[in-house]
Amino acid sequence: MKNLDINYIQKNLKTREFGRKLFYFEQLDSTSSHLAELSKGSVGQGTVVIAEQQTAGRGRQGNSWHSPPGQGLYFSLLLRPGLPSVKLSGLTLALGCSAAEAVEKITQNPVTVKWPNDLYCNSRKVGGMLTEMQSHGGLIDNAVIGIGLNVNNELIPQELCDTASSLRLETGKATSRENLLVGLLSGLEDDYRLFREQGFKSFAGRLTARFFLQGKRASVQDGLGIQMRGVVSGFDSDGCLLLTDQQGRIVKCCSGTVTEMER
Ligand code: BTN
């Protein structure tokens, strides 16, 4: 197994900020935990922490993120928005859309976004994002965007293989992790700028075209354990999921996990 070629990444990265400062580790507990620590100091926006392997990779809602060495991409990116949280609603979904487009461009294989920001290939999860924000005096001053992608994994652990996969298994080809990282950072930089200038609205059309489960019956378990059911009808301007229930009412879900329901 070959380690990431950091020189190649630095040579090919054409971004202004994202990834210009890059901390590389063979092993970390979690790139997001490490970057959150670094963010207490003076590191700037665009700083990236990347690891070949994570021993305690974290996913959304307390899940862990399986991070075997040399096969996937596990990295975290620091944003310093300096904006009230209301101005950042929809950011997670917008960046999920950006990441899906970047992965699709490199792999030449369709990638969809499962709300709020899981990446799917042929109806299987190949990647996920974890956004963790910290505020101070009413402004979000740090957002750590953690991205995990199963890239060249040939084996998926038994307990995950019903729903998860890798780009390698879904496309039948190996993908350069270096090119993926370069493509992701460059797309995310452009799209974060667009989000700051125009908000979530500029992503709505792009996202609709790749919104996994659109028109499907689904249930959402929100952060408080409340379950909502309906047909996925899209998302609103804050990036919340919209379901149409059996009575035809629109139900809005702003946090949680969405699961397709058996017919
Ligand atoms: C999810 O789908 O639940 C989100 C997974 C996010 C995993 C990434 S891997 C890099 C970064 N470091 C972490 O500990 N988690 C994120």
pLDDT, tens digit (0-9, with 9 covering 90-100), for 1-34? 799 999 999 999 999 999 999 999 999 999 999 9
Residue 162 has a pLDDT of 87
Nearest to 164 by CA among 63, 37, 56, 77: 63
Question: pLDDT tens for residues 230-246?
Answer: 999 999 989 999 999 99
Q: How far apart are the first and last CA of the chain?
A: 43
Average pLDDT of the chain is 95
Residue 263 has a pLDDT of 59
Report the nearest atom of ligand 1 relative to the CA of 63.
3
Sign of the CA dihedral with 98 first, then 100, 104, and 110 last: negative
Question: pLDDT tens for residues 76-88?
Answer: 999 999 999 999 9
3-state helix, strand, coil in the chain (%, to 5): 30, 30, 40
Give the Å distance between the CA of 54 and the centre of ligand 1: 10
- In angstroms, rounded to a whole number, what is the distance separating the alpha carbons of residues 40 and 238? 28
Give the Å distance between the CA of 41 and the centre of ligand 1: 22
Residue 42 half-sphere exposure toward CB, CA atoms < 13 A: 0
Question: pLDDT tens for residues 26-85?
Answer: 999 999 999 999 999 999 999 999 999 999 999 998 899 999 999 999 999 999 999 999
Which domains, and CATH codes, for the chain?
A: 6-208 (3.30.930.10), 217-260 (2.30.30.100)
Give the Å distance between the CA of 250 and the centre of ligand 1: 31
With H, G, I as helix, E, B as strand and everything else as coil, classify residue 76: strand
For atom 10 of ligand 1, the residue with the nearest CA is: 74
Ligand 1 neighbours, Cβ below 6 Å, are: 30-32, 54, 57-60, 63, 65, 74-76, 118, 128-130, 146-148
In one letter, which amino acid is 15?
A: T
